[in-house]
């Protein structure tokens, strides 16, 4: 697949927006996956290429949070391990299904994201730096999240945010801090699966990832400085953008 100047600009610009949304809330892949398909990729290739951008994005997000002294690598890593079996299984399934079925599932997922976003999150504590004793429910939630993320990725940020916020009772800034680390870790074996299946277009993935990294770094800084109120506002904006895309406004 050859890229022209217009394609490169689109990848960078959409990548910046996607990276910002993914770190602050979620749903960025709702825009990058269709873009990659529009540029001529089949769904499996687009899915695999998008993972390169996700990996770069989340590395940038983790670094940005750490730079602002928001990091708990030990806790984040222990949580991320529970996503790995599901992520590998989901990635294997993603490269085996047909384009038509994947696109149908993608449409259903987007509708589901919109519906769930109308439910206001409740129950999270606002105590900075404090994580209560973990509920056992977090483990099956992370296994499911890994499978979902390995399979489709779109909206996985919302799924992770719900699990961490409601079950672990942490505020939204720390939810995002853990989220970006968890996605970074489970994306590593997922990329291997797609690479072995020859379903990664590296040039496009690296260009998209450059945009994602810029958006992610910026988003993490805004998340820490502005706190829960801005995160909720961005989540609402992400929901509106997904809804407008689904009804064909753009």
In-domain check, residue 173: yes
In-domain check, residue 36: yes
Domain limits at 41?
A: 7-246
115 band by pLDDT with thresholds 50, 70 and 90: low
**For 33-63, what is each residue's pLDDT tens digit?**
889 998 999 989 999 999 999 999 999 999 9
The CA distance from 245 to 239, in Å, is 10
User: Is the entire prediction scored with pTM above 0.85?
Assistant: no
**For 131-185, what is each residue's pLDDT tens digit?**
445 577 888 999 999 998 998 887 788 888 888 888 887 788 888 999 999 999 9
In-domain check, residue 1: no
**For 67-111, what is each residue's pLDDT tens digit?**
999 889 999 999 999 999 999 999 999 888 887 777 677 667 666
The CA distance from 145 to 143, in Å, is 5
31 band by pLDDT with thresholds 50, 70 and 90: confident
Of 111-125, 176-190, 226-240, give the lowest mean pLDDT range.
Answer: 111-125
Using alpha carbons only, give the angle 73, 92, 59 rounded to the nearest 5 degrees: 25
In-domain check, residue 139: yes
Nearest to 218 by CA among 63, 71, 69: 63
220 band by pLDDT with thresholds 50, 70 and 90: very high
In-domain check, residue 2: no
79 in Cβ contact with 137 (< 8 Å): no
In-domain check, residue 28: yes
Which residue is listed with tokens 């540029």?
A: 39
Q: What is the number of structural domains in the chain?
A: 1
In-domain check, residue 120: yes
In-domain check, residue 53: yes
pLDDT tops 50 at residue 121: no
């Amino acid at each position: 697949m050859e890229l022209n100047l217009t394609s490169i600009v689109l990848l960078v610009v959409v990548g910046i927006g996607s990276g910002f949304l993914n770190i602050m809330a979620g749903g960025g892949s709702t825009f990058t996956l269709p873009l990659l398909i529009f540029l001529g990729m089949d769904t499996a290739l687009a899915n695999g290429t998008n993972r390169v951008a996700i990996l770069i994005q989340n590395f940038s997000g983790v670094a940005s949070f750490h730079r602002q002294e928001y990091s708990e690598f030990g806790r984040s890593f222990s949580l991320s391990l529970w996503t790995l079996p599901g992520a590998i299984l989901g990635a294997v399934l993603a490269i085996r299904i047909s384009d038509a079925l994947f696109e149908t599932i993608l449409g259903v997922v987007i509708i589901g994201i919109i519906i769930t976003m109308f439910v206001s999150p409740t129950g999270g504590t606002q105590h900075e730096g404090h994580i209560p004793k973990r509920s056992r429910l977090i483990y099956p939630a992370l296994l499911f999240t890994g499978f979902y993320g390995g399979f489709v990725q779109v909206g996985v940020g919302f799924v992770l945010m719900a699990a961490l916020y409601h079950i672990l009772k942490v505020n939204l800034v720390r939810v995002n801090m853990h989220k970006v680390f968890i996605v970074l870790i489970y994306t590593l074996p997922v990329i291997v699966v797609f690479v072995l299946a020859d379903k990664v277009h590296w040039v496009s993935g690296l260009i998209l990832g450059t945009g994602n990294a810029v958006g992610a770094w910026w988003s993490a800084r805004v998340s820490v400085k502005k706190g829960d109120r801005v995160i909720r506002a961005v989540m609402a904006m992400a929901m509106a953008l997904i809804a407008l895309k689904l009804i064909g406004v753009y």
